[in-house]
Chains A and B, each alone.
Chain A
C-alpha cells in the first residue's frame, strides 16, 4: 500500500509569488492534516479535513493560505502571495476514520524556500 505522497519535494520561489503544494493521502483515509515546521521550531498544525470538509482550520496563519480537498481525495495548499516567513517544511498526514488506536501517517514533506 502506498504511503502519503507530497509534491513537490522542494520549491524555491520569490516573495510575492504563488505556490501550490499537493498531498495524496493513503487510499481510503478520510482524515487529512496539514502541518508546518519552521526552522528551529516544532511541527505545528495548520488544518484538518474530514473528507472534503474542513474540520479544524484554527492553525492556518492567515488568509494568504488556502487549503482545498475537492472530492475528498487529494488536497492542495496554496500560499498567495508568499512571504519570507512562510519558508519551512510542510507535512501532510492522513488517518483512517477507524479505531481510536489508529494514528496519523506522515508524508515526506515539501520544503518551501521563499527568497
Chain B
C-alpha cells in the first residue's frame, strides 16, 4: 500500500469554478500536510501547509485535514487560468526535516 494516494486526473474546469483536490494517506504518523504546486518544467513550490486537523485559508485557497479519515483536501475558489498546474500533496513522517512522501499529483487545467 502506498503511503499517499492521489488521483492524477487530469481535471479540467472553467474559469471561476471551485476546484477540489484530494489525497488519502495510510500512516497515522503524518502530522504535517503540504500542498505543492508545480508548473510545467519547473520544480514544486510550496502552496500551503497545515499541521494536524482542521482548515487553513490563504486567499482563494483552503487546505483541509481530516485525520480521523486520513483525508486531506485543497479547495481553490474562483479558479483562474493561472492556476493551471499539477498539484501535489506531500507529508513528512514525523519532523518536517525528514523526507517527504508525495502523492502522484493532480493535473489541473482552468480554461477561460
Contact = CB atoms under 8 A, between A and B. Distances in A.
Interface residues of A, number: 27
B96 A59 contact: no
B37 to A, nearest CB: 11
A98 to B, nearest CB: 10
Interface residues of B, number: 25
Contact of A48 (B2, B4, B96, B99): B99
B96 A102 contact: yes
Interface in B1-47: 2, 4, 6, 34, 36, 41-46
A83 B13 CA distance: 39
B99 A33 contact: yes
B100 interface: yes
Nearest to B43: A106
A106 B45 contact: yes
Contacts of B100: 33, 35, 43, 45, 104
Q: Which 8 A-B pairs have the closest CB atoms?
A: A106-B43, A45-B99, A43-B102, A42-B104, A42-B102, A108-B43, A106-B44, A103-B46
Interface of B: 2, 4, 6, 34, 36, 41-46, 49, 88, 90, 95-105
